[in-house]
Structure 1
């Protein structure tokens, strides 16, 4: 999963002016590279949290499909790849719950902390050997915990700065570096230990990473964060709490009973659950769109903006579908189809997961400065999305070249895989930051938070889609798989280039 897109750098709900002033006044404003001291707390909290997450993710697919004799669970490879995609989709869907819990019940700071605790227990569950039950328990815990933590840590960061503080963007940039540093280092440590010695030992190291994140947060938050994250922005009244808890409690009991019966009777299988998530991945954003479009709070011009957002959302789903396969399909490709003894060293297949954050750190400033230099001559938002899709499609086409040259049975030079990761990152830098910016610009005033959730759900939809299509990947269909998906992305990019003037008219004055 990409480390750039995972940062939501806008607060979900604005803090009231008076509260904002109180929060900013309570935070020591000098102390970490000229930024508020709280940036230190959040930087290292996020660093260790991302270390734990990407360390776990670097070996998760291998743990699922490796045989029991090799320390894995022995799950069929296609099922393992589908489960990994479903897991990614649910991670993004859970952010909706985490945002609601923060906004209505306990505030960002407590949500962040409780989320971290739940994630840590999820990694501990993964570190327990030989139990399929503990594996699924760990997945549930990590999904719920990440849903609580991820939407709220950026909110806490934003609250430390005055809305007009010139350091604000730079602060988020520094924070963003913590994500990529954690993601870059983790596969070399967790991946090496997990693949070379023991998967569960690797997951244990990931749990330690999350523990260090919590220790950093608990020890330094009171001194460094002041009141940041302590306000519940849109709290439920006591009566609303009672009604809400009753409704949610009843719904949880009903779902638990239905799920138990479905599992015991054999109706709810892994394949059917994967299919269900695939449906939800598209039903939820569709519901969001219709709800916002039909709302009386949405103006005529804002409805035009929403129409312009539809092709961007579809393009985003296609892009993330390819990009997210870097940790599933390409991870399996690195393990089984790549020459791992290269230039005198043996390459651990999990190390390839470090390429994405490495390329982002190196090339994000270059792409960003390019848009600034071009100024008004820079491509429009739809055209940038088109380039993102074009690069994504080419990244899959690149994988076909060594097979065409040396045959489908030969091991592939690892530099081809490096090139594929590099090209898709170029696409990510054209689409992801532009998508975040475009979403804030196109959002109806009454639905700014929901619109950001809509953007993040494009990744959930992409991974829900992947859960359905990765089952078609086999050694026999490898050429067709990469070729069809790569060609589909390139074809969609051509359509987007052609439609970009029309899309721009729906965007009105937004460019």
Structure 2
């Protein structure tokens, strides 16, 4: 899309009305606030719902199975963003994509709010995975549409929008976690209500606030392409139905097989992305060098998210079973710990932004920031070793140890996540700029696909070894990346 068209879209949006930003930022801030409220509220209690006994309102799954499903869930959510971005670019436009996605997410949470079995859980997961894939990547695109190419408010606008994400993620575990003490299904119902409120905000205010933002289809399918895509999708759906219809009853396609397949896809898809971009005739020699530099950064990102994402799996179980939940005269819900990550981001993000501005050219290079992020990720797991080492493996742990672990990993996240987004835009080949951003998010998908394979090794007896080995590997990779940083910087060809 040309800058002229971008300017036309920006001109259609009322440019004053929300903290000095386009009026549409109000619409998108609260749409994403409620979507994240919905998603993180559901995620805060889902692991407990899966492994709690049926008598306690859960599904009674084995803990290792529940942990693997949770990891696969997260992996598929990130993978689906690639499909959601393609549909927005070629079929719906971003505005419709995010609205349809919100509806699917709400349906998924409604399914969870109804008493059911494992089948109902998987049905809800399909709705939420597809819905999040449609909504999550596209709502950010609409934010960008509201600003003209020369508008210097853009970065500040995204910062305000990012605050909405974290506020929703902070509040929801506190509310849903408390409600779920009465009933898991009531907690999921609250999550569904949150998504409904987001849809209402979007539907009521979009026409007045968003103008043309998100309404266009950047690269629409031609009639011939529509026929071809429809044929491919139709054949794929029929083939998938036949395969599943024959292999599931025969006991060939099991949950373990599915988890293994997602793990394979989680590694294979990013690998193919790198090969295609590197070998493309549209990629220049300088861009190929930058792709080489991006590979160790991608691997570091996978390692970091493999630890960070265990905050909603392994550490959630740790909060439930190993932590003393009677603290300062109150009974803590284990789901409340899920609010720590967004809380610390809200508090620390402005500080980090100030530090980078203050340091200017003296700040660490991108590879060194990634190395430091891995160091903090590893330390966040090693911290969990200390209470068991000093107090024994059977004693309940002071909740402040868990708070400290979350705090340390957030420091690593702020060294990696915003830096990685910025580096991706700079290192991406011109012909693959959007796809490279999808590749960045696939590092989270790959991390959780790997987690689905390794969380099964976590038990009460292996706790210290589990945290020690993973934390130690992260610190070792940190040291290797730090030593390779100057060489990586050379391959980045001037990008800092």
Q: If the TM-score is normalised by the length of the shorter chain, which range does it land in?
A: over 0.9
Output the CA distance in 2 between the equivalents of 1:71 and 1:36.
46
Alpha-carbon distance in 1 for matches of 2:5, 2:89: 14
**Is residue 2:227 matched to residue 1:238?**
no
- Deviating above 6 A after TM superposition, structure 1's stretches of 4 or more consecutive aligned residues are none
- The residue number in structure 2 matching 1:422 is 407
Residues 272-321 of structure 1: CA distance to partner in whole angstroms, max 9, x if unpaired? 10011000000000000000000000011100000001100100000000
Aligned-residue offset at 1:17: 2.5
Between the two proteins, the alignment pairs up a number of residues equal to 496
User: Are positions 1:72 and 2:58 aligned together?
Assistant: yes
In 2: Cα distance, 1:408 partner to 1:416 partner: 14
Residue 272 (1) aligns with residue 257 (2): yes
Distance across 2 between alignment mates of 1:509 and 1:391 = 27
Cα-to-partner distance string for 1:181-208 (whole Å, 9 max, x where unaligned): 10000011111101x1000000001000
Measure, in 2, the Cα distance between the counterparts of 1:151 and 1:225.
Answer: 17
Are 2:105 and 2:195, in contact at CA under 8 Å, matched by a contact in 1? Answer: yes
Offset of residue 379 of structure 1: 0.6
Post-superposition Cα deviations, 1:66-95, rounded to whole Å, max 9, x if no partner, equal 010000000100010000000000000000
Q: State how far apart, in whole Å, the 1-side matches of 2:7 and 2:489 are.
A: 38
Higher deviation after alignment, 349-358 or 239-248: 239-248
1:373 aligns with 2:361: no
Deviation at residue 367 of structure 1 after TM alignment? 1.3
Could you say what secondary structure the match of 1:264 adopts? coil
1:39 aligns with 2:25: yes
Q: Paired residue for 1:223, among 208, 217, 224?
A: 208
Between the aligned partners of 1:336 and 1:189, the Cα distance in structure 2 is 21
**Partner of residue 41, structure 2:** 55
Instruction: Indicate yes or no: 2:111 matched with 1:121.
Output: no
Q: Structure 1: how far apart are the matches of 2:10 and 2:350? A: 29
In structure 2, what is the Cα distance between the partners aligned to 1:124 and 1:395? 35
Q: Cα offset for 1:62?
A: 0.3
**Which segment is superposed worse, 19-28 or 157-166?**
19-28
What is the aligned partner in structure 2 of residue 189 from structure 1? 175
Shift of 1:338: 0.2
Q: State the match for 1:3 in structure 2.
A: none
Instruction: List alignment gaps of at least 5 residues for structure 1.
Output: 1-14
Distance 1:24 1:507 in 2: 33
Question: Which residue of the partner structure matches residue 165 of structure 1?
Answer: 151
Alignment correspondent of 2:98:
112
Q: Which residue number in structure 1 is paired with residue 474 of structure 2?
A: 489
TM alignment of 1:445-456, pairs within 5 A: 445-456=430-441
Aligned residue in 2 for 1:133: 119
Deviates more, 1:123-132 or 1:16-25: 16-25
Please give the secondary structure, in 1, of the residue aligned with 2:248. helix
Aligned to 2:7: 21
Instruction: State the match for 2:80 in structure 1.
Output: 94
| TM-superposition CA deviations, 1:456-489 (whole Å, max 9, x none) | 1000000000000000000000000000000000
Runs of at least 5 residues in structure 2 that lack an aligned partner in the other structure: none
Determine helix, strand or coil for the equivalent of 2:433: helix
SS of the residue corresponding to residue 151 of structure 2 reads coil
Equivalent residue for 1:179? 165
Q: CA deviation at 1:365?
A: 1.0
Does the Cα contact within 8 Å between 2:3 and 2:149 map onto a contact in 1? no
1:155 maps to 141
| Residue 334 of structure 1: aligned partner | 319
| CA distance in 1 between partners of 2:116 and 2:84 (Å) | 31
Post-superposition Cα deviations, 1:380-428, rounded to whole Å, max 9, x if no partner, equal 1100000000000000000000011100110000000000000000000
